[in-house]
Amino acid sequence: MYQAEPDPYCYPGTNVLRNKPGLTAADALEQFETAMTFARSEEPLPPSVSHYRAIHHHLFQDVYEWAGKFRTVRLTKGVSTFCYPANIEREMRRLFRRLRQQHYLRDLSTADFVQETAHFLSELNAIHPFREGNGRTQLTFLALLSERAGLPLDLDRLDPRAMLAAMIASFNGDDTPLGAIIQSLVAHD
């Protein structure tokens, strides 16, 4: 569970995020969120694929009014404190400028693609720009980035627990487990 300062994103006195259908039970919201984001993830993505916020908005537009908007509260998970809200915009511009300078990781060997993608994803996760839905947005963007780089991923092979452990390791400075997962997902003929 995420820990945040007094949170205007939640219904008063709860940890349940305010949502469009007005669900106040955490389990009901989780089920609704899962159903809506899965349905949206099956649709063609917005044309502005390089615009990360558009992906988040696309996935969560049926759930949250703030879909696609960067969070305004400090956020921690366990012992990990994510980027302060005042720095999110700047850090996202820096990260995506670097990605653009790297030609969106096109024309790289598989090994170089895996290494650069793991590093990019670890930085993106440390920024954690949204109040909720960062992992799903990261995964959707990763699939898009990989496809465009000519190295599509087989997401059916993704182990969510291993991915979470790899993201935690990358937050602590070790991209190796994340790279291994990305390598295992690169579709092989």
Which tens digits make up the pLDDT trace of 63-88? Answer: 999 999 999 999 998 888 999 999 99
Written as six digits, the tokens of 117 are 């993608």
CATH, residue 114: 1.10.3290.10
**Distance between CA atoms of residues 106 and 95, nearest Å:** 16
Q: Is the pLDDT of residue 46 over 50?
A: no
Helix, strand, coil share of the chain (percent; to 5): 55, 5, 40
Strands 2-4 and 80-81, bridge-based pairing: unpaired
pTM of the predicted model, to two decimals?
0.76
**Distance between CA atoms of residues 55 and 49, nearest Å:** 7
**Distance between CA atoms of residues 105 and 98, nearest Å:** 10
How many domains are contained in the chain? 1
Q: Is the pLDDT of residue 47 over 80?
A: no
Contacts of 179 (CB under 8 A, 6+ apart): 114, 115, 117, 118
Amino acid 183: pLDDT:
96
The long-range contacts involving 134-141, CB below 8 angstroms and separated by at least 24 positions, are 135/163, 135/164, 135/167, 136/37, 136/41, 136/59, 137/52, 137/55, 137/56, 137/59, 140/41, 140/45, 140/55, 140/59, 141/52, 141/55
* DSSP-derived secondary structure for 34-54: HHHHHHHHTSPPPS-TT-HHH
Q: Is the pLDDT of residue 34 over 70?
A: yes
Q: What is the extent of the structural domain holding 145?
A: 2-185
Which tens digits make up the pLDDT trace of 83-140? Answer: 999 999 999 989 988 988 888 898 999 999 999 999 999 999 999 999 999 999 999 8
Euclidean distance between the first and final Cα of the chain, in Å? 39
Amino acid 158: pLDDT:
94
Contacts of 1 (CB under 8 A, 6+ apart): 15, 77
Amino acid 131: pLDDT:
95
**Distance between CA atoms of residues 12 and 10, nearest Å:** 6
Q: 50: pLDDT confidence band, cut at 50, 70 and 90?
A: very low
